[in-house]
Amino acid sequence: MKEYTLIPLPISKISIDKSMMTYRRNMGERFEMPCFAWYIKGADQTILVDTGIEADFANSMLSPEYPVRFIPVQSFEDALASQGLTIEGIDYVIQTHGAYDHIGNTKRCCNATSFMQEDEWRCLMAPHPLLKEIYRPELMSGWNRLKLVKGDVPNLFPGIDLIFAPGHGPGVQAVGVNTKKGKAVISGFCCIQDNFSPHEEVKPYYPVTPSGIHTNPIQAFESMVKVAGIADILIPQHEPSLLEVNSIP
């Protein structure tokens, strides 16, 4: 079976209230977390998972009162150039979900085909008012280089699986990637390591904490258990310590 490495490409950081990440926990705690595009290195074609969003662009979409701010790390071009890649050279983008911090550069990938779950696309194109701050249809509307998928898709490419993991959004997908150290799984839903470490006060009741942003917290919980069960290497998609990591494994 083919083996790959995963390269995290940080594009920006997000400053938020931590409770937006940890359901009913850490309220009033200011928190910074990175926002990545991921390069699956070792494939015959150039495959990214998500495209991140540049800070200035993201901030330009937010009202001054909105309590979220993006902080620049590097441009999408520079992030790709660090791996010898160009925007024009991207063949595929696997979209974990439709939140704006994951699709901000996708329309710029002019030669790429992107994969998204059907339920997620529907939500992105006509978001419920409750989701309108994070689901921005203009970031992908008119994008016709799109392949919609439904449910688990084993071996989308050899050794690369789409793992249906709804709850944070209606059609979130995690991405499983074969590596020499087993199956690395990019969570798909927005989370940090804390989400998988039981919080002291709820430890007797449940082992994982869903994101504070969700369309169904119980489904989000079940998806976390599913993803953690599959992964040899679990990658919580916004984990701050990943800023120190150049390659997985």
Task: Label the pairing between strands 146-149 and 113-117.
Answer: parallel
Rounded Cα distance between 107 and 105, Å, is 6
Min separation Cβ 134 and Zn ion, Å:
8
CA 17, chain centre distance (Å):
18
Min separation Cβ 204 and Zn ion, Å:
29
Of 155, 197, 195, the closest CA to residue 178 belongs to 155
Contacting Zn ion within 91-110 (CB under 5 A): 101
The one-letter amino acid code at 221 reads F
Q: How much is the CA Rg of the chain, to the nearest whole Å?
A: 17
Q: What is each CA distance from 7 to 183, 215, 237, 246, in whole angstroms?
A: 15, 29, 12, 6
- Candidates 88-96, 105-113, 189-197, 239-247; binding stretch for Zn ion (CB under 5 A): 189-197
| Of residues 53 and 177, the one with the C-beta less far from Zn ion | 53
Q: What is each CA distance from 112 to 48, 89, 153, 219, in whole angstroms?
A: 10, 8, 19, 31
Min separation Cβ 3 and Zn ion, Å:
27
Strand order in the sheet with 173-179: 153-157, 160-164, 173-179, 182-186, 233-235
Min separation Cβ 193 and Zn ion, Å:
15
Min separation Cβ 185 and Zn ion, Å:
16
**What mask of x and - would describe binding to Zn ion in positions 42 to 81, judged by CB under 5 A?**
----------------------------------------
Read off the tokens for 51.
Answer: 């495209």
Look at the block and give the residue holding tokens 């984990």: 239
CB of 95 closer than 8 Å to CB of 116: yes
Min separation Cβ 46 and Zn ion, Å:
22
| Of residues 162 and 190, the one with the C-beta less far from Zn ion | 190
What 3-state class would DSSP assign to 106? Answer: helix
For residue 124, state whether it binds Zn ion (rule: CB under 5 A): no
Read off the tokens for 182.
Answer: 């087993």
For residue 120, state whether it binds Zn ion (rule: CB under 5 A): no
Residue nearest to Zn ion (CB): 190
Min separation Cβ 45 and Zn ion, Å:
25
| Of residues 25 and 43, the one with the C-beta less far from Zn ion | 25
Of 221, 169, 236, 187, the closest CA to residue 24 belongs to 221
For residue 190, state whether it binds Zn ion (rule: CB under 5 A): yes
| Of residues 101 and 194, the one with the C-beta less far from Zn ion | 101
**What mask of x and - would describe binding to Zn ion in positions 148 to 187, judged by CB under 5 A?**
----------------------------------------
| Of residues 99 and 178, the one with the C-beta less far from Zn ion | 99
For residue 239, state whether it binds Zn ion (rule: CB under 5 A): no
Residues in the chain: 249
> Which residues bind to Zn ion, rule: CB under 5 A?
101, 190
